[in-house]
Amino acid sequence: MGLKSKHETRRQNRPVIEALEGRIVLSTLYASNVTQLQADITAVKNSPGPNTIVLKPGVYLMTSELQIQNAGNLTIRPSSTRSTTSLVGSVVDRVLEIDGGSVTLSGLSISGGGAVAQGAGILAQNASLTLKSTKVFSNISTQSGAGIYTQGGTLTLQDSYVTNNRSSNSTLAFGGGIVAVDTQVTLTSSTVSENSLYAYQQQTMGAVEASGAGIFAEGGSLSVTGSTLSGNNIYAVTTGTSAATSGAAISTLETPVTVSKSTFQYDALYSVSYGVASTQGSVFATNGGSLTLVDSSLSKNTPGGMRSFFHPGATVTIRNISINGLKFSGTLNP
């Protein structure tokens, strides 16, 4: 066998572009400050992915929202899970907006969003959004979904927290922690706690209403497994004609709901009015649709007992349920 020339050897070792066609090329981007993070998010815009943005642990203070558009398969995670990585808003805008695509937020905390009507922490529209070991807390909206607001698509929470978010309005407030409209929602081993709604008005003929301090869902579907909803409170106060509160933990409208192996405690409704004051369903307000509740416990909710349920136009099926220590199974008719 004869020796090959240097020229021939170089040609033999040269990469062939055609050999890469059809392969999925993984892209990993790194950021250690807000400017780099914004640049990385821009780089994955309209990308089919998969892409990963790896964040150096620390606090990322933002003056405006981060907007992710049509990122086909994007994961944002810290480089280390042994320290906190926080996306913190400036209270004059939401923290994160996700339009289309598929996005996973893993090992992050999201807080400080405000001055928007919906989705102060996260607004997701027609997207597949997954939160893993992520905490959404201390966000404030002027009407609904202070923590997370989704329209269409899917929302999945795994080992995550939505806590201490607040929505308030002079007439109507709903979904302090999570609002999901036409969204398939799945919560597993997660906590929705200490979220609040405030509807407050000082008008002689005024009426105020608030519903779903923890979760408010309209359409779509809701599945809750091995999770805790606690300390979610609603306050409706007016000097006018009526104040109405409902569904401190979960309020739904024409939504099929399944709940298993979950705990509901210290969820509460408070209504004050010079006219009519109503409190309906301290844990569940199921308007149309359905609720199936199995292997779960309800305790120390206000109002308590069977007033934990409010279900106009909906059938509620309960199996092996503990309400303040007493066991129940059966069907609650509309």
Residue that is written with structure tokens 């999925």 in the block: 24
pLDDT for 71 beyond 90: yes
Residue 303 preceded by cis peptide, ω within 30: yes
User: CA 194, CA 213: separation in Å to the nearest integer?
Assistant: 9
Per-residue model confidence (pLDDT) at position 202: 77
**Mean of pLDDT values over 61-85:** 93
pLDDT for 20 beyond 50: no
The answer to whether residue 257 sits within a structural domain is: yes
The answer to whether residue 73 sits within a structural domain is: no
- What tokens were used for 325? 């220590």
Do residues 130 and 104 make contact, with C-beta atoms less than 8 angstroms apart? yes
The answer to whether residue 210 sits within a structural domain is: yes
The answer to whether residue 276 sits within a structural domain is: yes
pLDDT for 6 beyond 70: no
Question: What helix, strand, coil percent values describe the chain, rounded to 5?
Answer: 10, 55, 40
User: CA 264, CA 111: separation in Å to the nearest integer?
Assistant: 24
As a whole-number percent, the residues of the chain with pLDDT over 90 amount to 84
Per-residue model confidence (pLDDT) at position 82: 85
**Mean of pLDDT values over 190-208:** 91
What's the pLDDT tens digit per position in 267-278?
Answer: 999 999 999 999
42 phi, psi to nearest 5 deg: -65, -35
What's the pLDDT tens digit per position in 215-267?
Answer: 999 999 999 999 999 999 999 999 999 999 999 999 999 999 999 999 999 99
The answer to whether residue 61 sits within a structural domain is: no
The answer to whether residue 94 sits within a structural domain is: yes
Please state the domain count of the chain.
1
User: CA 132, CA 108: separation in Å to the nearest integer?
Assistant: 8
Measured over the CA atoms of residue 324, residue 329, residue 330 and residue 334, the dihedral's sign is positive
Q: What is the pTM of this model?
A: 0.91
Q: How confident is the model at residue 26 (pLDDT cuts 50, 70, 90)?
A: low
The answer to whether residue 319 sits within a structural domain is: yes
User: CA 126, CA 212: separation in Å to the nearest integer?
Assistant: 22
pLDDT for 2 beyond 80: no
The answer to whether residue 35 sits within a structural domain is: no
Full residue range of the structural domain in which residue 144 is found: 83-332
User: CA 182, CA 185: separation in Å to the nearest integer?
Assistant: 9
